[in-house]
Amino acid sequence: MISDPRLSELLEIIATLKARNKPVRLDDLAAKLSCSRDHAKEILETALKEGLVEYVDNVLRLTSRGRVQVRRHREEYIHDKYAHKPGFWGRMARFFEGSVQDWHGHWHGRHGLDETSLRGFYASIRDLEGRVEETSSLADLPQGEKGVVAFALGGHGLVRRLAEMGLTPGTEVRVVRCAPFHGPIEISVRGVSLALGRGVASKIFVKRAAEGN
């Protein structure tokens, strides 16, 4: 398990680089990590030493071990932030669960994700572009803003229903209207307007679309 959060950030950056066939400049890594060039170099050297990243044709790539670490980091973040209700009872549930070792079994036994939905969930977080910390619940997206569906957190029935509505990973959605008092939200997806209850919307997670899209 990675203890240095900057190391996790570095792996996330390498996992989602768009210019995958170009050498990564140390200055660019430092800017993305919001640290000095020397500190970025130290973090990169640690990742190389621990076998988390490697150079392939002068391009930084995640190793198989690095990919496992990225998935675990994303799972832990999603679980801690989204899998439990907010507030006191959510904190208590996380406390009594303790440290999760078998994530597959935990998602299945504790949170009710079946094998089909788990496969889709893992595929979604593997292909996620950008850091997992940049995601938010669709229910929390402000009115008028756009987001791109990143993943859903629910059983096969929910995931299938969302797919039937066109709400699959990579799809852009826009929040048209938010009803008051935690009522349903109206969204636009693929040119069609849909009304979603807050409970369903809270299980869909999006990455906010870049300005100008």
CATH of the domain at 160: 2.30.30.90
Do 188 and 165 sit in the same domain of this protein? yes
Do 138 and 116 sit in the same domain of this protein? no
Domain count across the chain: 3
Contacts of 86 (CB under 8 A, 6+ apart): none
Tokens of 207: 């990455």
Mean pLDDT value across the chain:
87
Position 58 pLDDT exceeds 90: no
Q: State the pTM of this model.
A: 0.81
What is the pLDDT, as a whole number, of residue 194?
Answer: 95
Beta bridge partners of 62: 53
95-104, 108-117, 133-142: range with lowest mean pLDDT: 95-104
- If pLDDT is split at 50, 70 and 90, which confidence band does 86 have? low
Q: In terms of residue numbers, what domain contains 20? A: 5-62
Do 82 and 137 sit in the same domain of this protein? no
Average pLDDT over residues 56-71: 89
Average pLDDT over residues 53-71: 89
What is the pLDDT, as a whole number, of residue 19?
Answer: 46
Contacts of 94 (CB under 8 A, 6+ apart): 80, 84
- Of 136, 161, 160, 133, the closest CA to residue 147 belongs to 136
Tokens of 163: 């797919």
Average pLDDT over residues 45-64: 90
Position 150 pLDDT exceeds 80: yes
Do 203 and 138 sit in the same domain of this protein? yes
Tokens of 114: 């079946």
Position 2 pLDDT exceeds 70: no
Structural domain contains residue 213: no
Structural domain contains residue 34: yes
Position 43 pLDDT exceeds 90: yes
Q: Which of 62, 84, 103 is the last residue of a domain?
A: 62
For 151-183, what is each residue's pLDDT tens digit? 999 988 999 999 999 999 999 999 999 988 788
Average pLDDT over residues 117-135: 90
**Which helix (H) or strand (E) segment is 48 a member of?**
helix 37-49
